[in-house]
Amino acid sequence: MPEPPRHNLPAEPNRFVGRERDLDDLRGLFGETRVVTLCGVGGIGKTRLALRVAAGLVTAYPDGVWLVELARIGRPELIPQEVARVLGVREEANRPLLDTVTARLRGMRCLLLLDNCEHLVDRCAEVAAALIATCPRLSILATSREPLRIASELIWRVPPLDLPDAGPQAEEAEAVQLFMDRATAAGTRLGPGSLADVIRLCRALDGLPLALELAAARTRLLSPGQIADRIDDRFSLLTTGGRTAPARQRTLLAAVEWSYDLLSVKEQVLLRRLSVFAGGFDLELAEQVCAERPISAAEIVDLLGGLVDKSLVSCDESRRRYSLLETIKRYAIERLEQAGEREVLRERHLDVLCALQERHFSAEMVEPGLPWPRRLEALTMSKRLLDDQRVALDWAAEAGNVAQGLRLCATSTSLLPIGGNLTEIVAWIERLLSLDLAHVAPEQVAHAKAYLAYGLEARDELSRSLELAEQSLAGLAPDNVFPRCVMHSLTVVVLLRMGRADEAVPHAEEGLALATRSGDAWNQAAGLLGLSALALTRGRLREAQRHGEEALARAREHGHRWIMARTAAQLGAVAEARGDLVTAKSQYEMAVPWLRELRSELDLARCLARIGRVAAMLHEFGTARECLGTSLALGRATGQRQGVARCLVGLSVLAEYEGDLEGAILAAGAAATLRESIGQHSATTRIEELLARARTKLGDGRTTSLWSRGLAMSPDDAARHVLEGERLAPRPRMETTAPAETVRHSLLTARELEIAHLLTRGLSNRGIAEELVISPATVARHIANIMEKLGYTSRAQIAVWAAEHPNVPG
Amino acid sequence: MHVTPLLTVGPMDERIVMVDSDTGLELTEEQLDERSAVATVQLRRRGVRAGDTVLICLPVGPDLLVATDAVIAAGGVACPVPADLDAAALSARIIASRARVMISDLPQALEAADESRVRIVMSVADLSVLHSCPGSR
């Protein structure tokens, strides 16, 4: 497999100007410091500096440099979720997500860049502190207007760019360089004659990068001198709030206001309306949400282009995805409120999100006869709207618009476990259902409860899930077929998991009948899948096979890779049950490309573990090793202990079939411990049989000792033992210090060694200075060097070290 | 070579270089050497290089002496700002400076740092901790 990228830093949109020394210093700080927060006012360039620092640290962090953009997160509880998403960690049932993230990061040497923490600073601080406390090799670089105020944080104040001094070097000042660069990019050629005005403007703008960019974007129409004059005037026009703000904030506000006031009326309207989006947005979304008097949808593309040219809106290279800088966004929100448009726009945003997600959901799941690429496209588009969907749901809750909120909850797979999102749907629906439901139709509440039940099953809250599924079925109208069918299928799953198969049969049959009548291929497949699982539980293999085959046919008809993979796995399980391992393996293998297409790592990991186990039993050891290895890597990367445990069981089977009983016991023991730690039971029959076979071959004592060693073994060690055929290593010995000492010696210069030995005589700096005929300041510098090189914290330690190492010149 | 495992302190080292007028505590030459050595390492860890100006805004006392010695040992230029200046003058001095690092515990100095070119403010405590991760204000 190709090496996955070790960072997610975006490409720089334009040239980075200046701050060479700062970059150097900041990168240097990470040798000693674990948390550095870049602080400063909006527009001073914290994010840009942080990204640049982080890019230069990629080689220093073998496990990667990961940017977590928090500006688009509105709620503090979503922070761990965003960190997890960036790291590819998935939620585990019954475990706080932050714990899974922490466990994943524990051994990793990586740098997290938490960008724009200020609006969630308390929770950011808690999360950062928790991660730093438990992950010893992790570093954090944060940007925030306010410090996190946690122990071990180094607050680094980002200054403006260097301003020009009077003199011939003025042109080289950072502020001038940035202004010139951006003016050139805007298509303006500024001759040497304008330098004096540029210098004046840079000073007026206090070297603030954002202010300089906004000014430079206007140089096609206004000369630097004109801009400087107008911005000066702006200071006196600042709104009351701005007048008392600190100087830099005032300067920035003046620049932003000036730039805003220069916009055409329509551009102003669009800019403030764009502030309703969570983060990045595309043209279509802007057209749907922002087109309202006085602007029409057709005008938006040009208006947006104008805003990009004026540096008020950023866009990616392809000009498909747009976004607002945080500082501009805040300003735009204020303008939106002042225009009295906030409620209208947020309501509209919510409505548009509802309509879009409903359309995507229908295309992905419900509409018959659509080809798979069309369904996949709908799924992808729906997922891309997740940030905006959250913002819209927040608004629904805040404004008490429960009906629209619930509607939005019931129309998106990205909020559901099928999209790898275990608990989020639960939290949203519970929040909305706790509000006043007087204006909500009971039918809609029943519909929402269906998705709540769905989420609860994924969280292993089976009895609550069952209860809500029943309530939902009781409240849903008979013609609301899709959710009814989903509820029947879910009830089958829950009852099966609760060991109540008999009660499940009528649900499976009813769900199937409903889906068949309405021609709903997805739910036909799901219903048949349920029937096959029920038959398998009761040992009716031929019936299970028949239902499974039919389920696969219906799933193929629908085309959704998720349901197809599910039915293939069911057919594999049925084949395994009748002892037909060759068929089982090929059924499981069928699902692999489908799951890869869906990027569904958790399902893929499960599928690969099954293939690996069956391949081992077929003596296809190479395949088994490869599949189990990949599955294990996926389980670890996504932080799934259950997935890791599953692989260990597979590896135990592999080891035993290869004749390595020792490895089989170790892996089974490690799996048992891991399962116990997540409150899961192990398949005790297999373990007992394995141990019985081992006793015959290896003897009681050896078996017992291996088993207890396996129980205490880390999952990684146990896995390596089987995967790489590693033999048991002798117990680790105490590390000797000899080699380190040699290194330490050679680090010191002759003069430093000399001074180190003089310290054994208890001399002061002045005493040493007199002895060596040098100045006390030089002695102090040498001593600081020695401390740094030897990693000591006091002069006394140097003296003791020197006393113990007399065989050096001194 | 003769080795003295137990450190003996010669008369020169017991010499008192300063008495804190507030507390009456004495600072011996040895203590000064020790504390400034540690402080020098701390300054370097935060990026102070030869030729860098470091603002020192501390009341007259042992800490000021240690900080000044440490800045010089780190190769920096110590630039003292009297801690008893009135707030406006103090702020003006800090803002006008091009220093990247400031040593101070004064709230008004910290506030002024936000509007200055100072990147890192170190407290007196930051100058002495060497084991743990550095903090700062």
3-state secondary structure A745-807: HHHCCHHHHHHHHHHCCCCCHHHHHHHHCCCHHHHHHHHHHHHHHHCCCCHHHHHHHHHHCCC
B8 contacts chain A (CB < 8 A): yes
Residues 75..94 of B with a Cβ closer than 8 Å to A: which? 75
Q: How many CA atoms lie within 13 A of A499 on its CB side?
A: 0
**What is the maximum alpha-carbon separation in chain A?**
102
User: Chain A: nearest CA to B97, how far in angstroms?
Assistant: 12
ipTM rounded to 2 decimals? 0.87
Pairing status of strand B77-80 against strand B120-122: unpaired
DSSP state, residue A34: S
CB A157 within 8 A of CB A40: yes
Residues of B in contact with A151 (CB under 8 A): 133, 135
Of A208, A237, A261, which marks where a domain is finished? A261
The CB-based long-range contact list for A258-262 (8 Å cut-off, 24+ gap) reads A258/A214, A258/A230, A258/A231, A258/A234, A259/A214, A259/A215, A259/A217, A259/A218, A259/A310, A259/A311, A259/A312, A260/A312, A260/A331, A260/A335, A262/A218, A262/A310
Calculate how close chain A gets to B69, using CA atoms only, in Å: 8
Q: What is the phi/psi pair of residue A310, to 5°? A: -90, 15
| DSSP-based three-state secondary structure for A464 | helix
- Tokens 């600072």: give the residue: B27
Measure B133 CA to nearest chain A CA, in Å.
5
Give the helix ranges, DSSP H, for B18-76: 29-45, 62-73
Task: Yes or no: say if B62 and B56 are a contact pair by the CB < 8 Å rule.
Answer: no
Please indicate, yes or no, whether residues A623 and A721 belong to a single structural domain of this protein. Answer: yes
Q: Residue A792 belongs to a domain with what CATH number?
A: 1.10.10.10
Q: What is the pLDDT of residue A72?
A: 86
Q: Are residues A148 and A172 in the same domain?
A: no
Q: What CATH number does residue A633 fall under?
A: 1.25.40
How many angstroms away from the CA of B31 is the closest CA of chain A?
9
Distance between B106 CA and the closest CA of chain A, angstroms: 16
Question: In whole angstroms, how far apart are CA A587 and each of A459, A529, A619?
Answer: 28, 15, 18
Distance CA B45, CA A44 (A): 25
Residues of B in contact with A159 (CB under 8 A): 116-119
Domain shared by A651 and A681, yes or no: yes
CB-based contact (8 Å) between B50 and chain A? no
Q: Does B14 touch chain A (CB under 8 A)?
A: no
Distance (Å) from the alpha carbon of A16 to chain B's nearest alpha carbon: 19
User: Which of A162, A765, A797 to mutate to probe the B interface, most B CBs <10 Å?
Assistant: A765
Contacts with B, A 238-267, CB within 8 Å: 246-248
Min CA distance, B56 vs chain A (Å)?
A: 17
Are A155 and B37 inside 8 Å of each other by CB? no
Q: How many CB atoms lie within 10 A of CB A526?
A: 28
Residues A649 and A670 in one domain: yes
Beta carbons of B7 and A763 less than 8 Å apart: no
A201 Cβ contact list (under 8 Å, min separation 6): A179, A215, A224, A225, A227, A228, A231
How big is the CA angle at A248 (ends A242 and A251), to the nearest 5 degrees? 60
Burial of A197 (0-12, 13-18, 19+ CB in 10 A): middle
**Domain ranges for chain B:** 14-128
Hey, what are A617's tokens?
A: 């039993």
Q: Judge contact between A44 and A209, C-beta under 8 A.
A: yes
Q: CA nearest B128: which of B105, B94, B97?
A: B105
- Which 3 state secondary structure label does DSSP give A68? strand
The greatest distance separating any two alpha carbons of chain B, rounded to the nearest whole angstrom, comes to: 59
Pick the residue from chain A with its C-alpha nearest to B50. A781
Give the A window 418-457 contacts with B, CB below 8 Å.
none
Chain A closest-CA separation from residue B89 CA (Å): 17
A574 falls within a domain = no
For residues A217 and A96, membership in a common domain is answered with no
Please give the Cα distance from A25 to B48 (Å, whole number). Answer: 9
Interface check B11 vs A, CB under 8 A = no
From residue A468, alpha-carbon distances to A477, A575, A785 in Å are: 16, 34, 69
Please classify residue B50 by burial: count the beta carbons closer than 10 Å to its beta carbon, then call 0-12 exposed, 13-18 middle and 19+ buried. Answer: exposed
How many CB atoms are located within 10 Å of the residue A257 CB? 19
Nearest to A273 by CA among A261, A287, A256: A287
Q: Could you name the CATH architecture of B14-128? A: 3-Layer(aba) Sandwich (3.40)
CATH number of the domain to which A133 belongs: 3.40.50.300
Local structure of residue A723 (DSSP, 8 states) = H
Q: Classify residue A519: in a domain, yes or no.
A: no
Q: How far apart are CA A538 and CA A496, in angstroms?
A: 11
Domain identity same for A718 and A765: no
Q: How distant is the Cα of B59 from the closest Cα of chain A, in angstroms?
A: 22
Q: Is A159–B119 a contact, with Cβ atoms under 8 angstroms apart?
A: yes
SS3 A180: helix
Does B12 touch chain A if contact means CB atoms closer than 8 Å?
yes
Quote the CA–CA distance of B102 and B125 in Å, as a whole number: 13
A217 CB neighbour count, 10 Å cutoff? 21
DSSP summary character for residue B66:
H
Residue A49: per-residue pLDDT: 97
Q: Are residues A649 and A717 in the same domain?
A: yes
Per-residue model confidence as pLDDT tens digits over A518-564: 999 999 999 999 999 999 999 999 999 999 999 999 999 999 999 99
What whole-number distance in Å separates Cα of residue A182 and Cα of residue A198?
Answer: 12
Q: Which of A110, A50, A51, A114 is nearest to A80 (CA)?
A: A114
Domain-located, residue A359: no
The residue assigned the tokens 């419900």 is: A366
Determine the Cα–Cα distance for residues A143 and A281; give it in Å rounded to an integer: 23
Taking the C-alpha atoms of residue A447 and residue A714, their distance in angstroms, rounded to an integer, is: 45
Are A127 and A242 found together in one domain?
A: no
Where is A263: in which H helix or E strand? none
The confidence score (pLDDT) of residue A237 equals 58
The domain boundary residue, chosen from A112, A135, A157: A157
Contact criterion met (CB < 8 Å) for B41 and A787: yes
Q: A244, A261, A278 — which closes off a domain?
A: A261
Contacts of A204 (CB under 8 A, 6+ apart): A228, A231, A232, A251
| A132 domain residue, yes or no | yes
Domain count, chain A: 4
The two beta strands, A314-315 and A321-323, are antiparallel
Look at the block and give the residue holding tokens 């029409």: A296
Chain B residues within an 8 Å CB radius of A797: none
Contact B37 A35 (CB under 8 A): no
Name beta bridge partners: B19.
B26
- What does the pLDDT read at residue B79? 94
What SS3 state is found at A314?
A: strand
Q: Are residues A622 and A748 in the same domain?
A: no
**CB proximity A157 to B under 8 Å:** yes
In three-state secondary structure terms, A434 is coil
Interface contact flag, A155 B136, Cβ < 8 Å: yes
Search chain A and give the residue with CA nearest B39: A784
| Cα–Cα distance list, A551 to A17, A317, A454, A525, A589 (Å) | 60, 45, 21, 4, 17
Residue A178 belongs to domain spanning: 168-261
Whether A592 maps to a domain, the answer reads no
Taking contacts as CB-CB distances below 8 angstroms, the residues of chain A near B72 are 777, 780
How far is residue A273's CA from residue A337's CA, in Å, rounded to a whole number?
10
Weakly modelled stretches of chain A, pLDDT under 70: 1-4, 236-245, 417-420, 726-745, 807-810
A115 vs A575: CA distance, rounded Å:
51
Contact between residue A760 and residue A753 where contact means Cβ atoms under 8 Å apart = no
CA B136 – CA B124 distance, rounded (Å): 10
A778 and A799 fall within a common domain: yes
Give the pLDDT score at A743: 61
Q: Verify that A715 and A767 share a domain, yes or no.
A: no
Beta-bridged to residue B120, according to DSSP, are B101
Mean per-residue pLDDT pooled into runs of 10, chain B (137 residues): 40 73 81 90 92 94 93 94 91 91 94 92 88 48
Residue whose entry in the numeric block shows the structure tokens 């008490």: A400
Helix (H, G, I), strand (E, B) or coil at A524: helix
B117: Cβ contacts below 8 Å, ≥ 6 apart: A159, A160, B97, B98, B99, B100
The answer, for B21 touching chain A at a CB cutoff of 8 Å, is: no
Check residue A236 and give its pLDDT.
65
- B51 at interface of A, judged by CB pairs closer than 8 A: no
Amino acid at A808: V
Same domain, yes or no: A122 and A145: yes
Residue B130 pLDDT: 61
Specify whether the CB–CB gap between A195 and A171 falls below 8 A: yes
Asked if the C-beta of B100 comes within 8 angstroms of chain A's C-beta atoms, the answer is: yes
Backbone torsions φ then ψ of A32, nearest 5 degrees: -115, -30
Nearest Cα neighbor of A128 from A139, A119, A137 is: A139
Among the partner-chain residues A154, A762, A800, the one whose CB lies closest to the CB of B8 is: A762
Residue among A49, A154, A158 with most chain B CBs within 10 A, to mutate = A154
Two tokens, residue A700 = 């009681």
A758 near B CB under 8 A: no
B120 interfaces chain A, CB cutoff of 8 Å: yes
Determine, yes or no, domain membership for A249.
yes
Contact A491, A507 (CB under 8 A): yes
Interface size, chain A vs chain B, as Cβ–Cβ contacts under 8 Å: 139
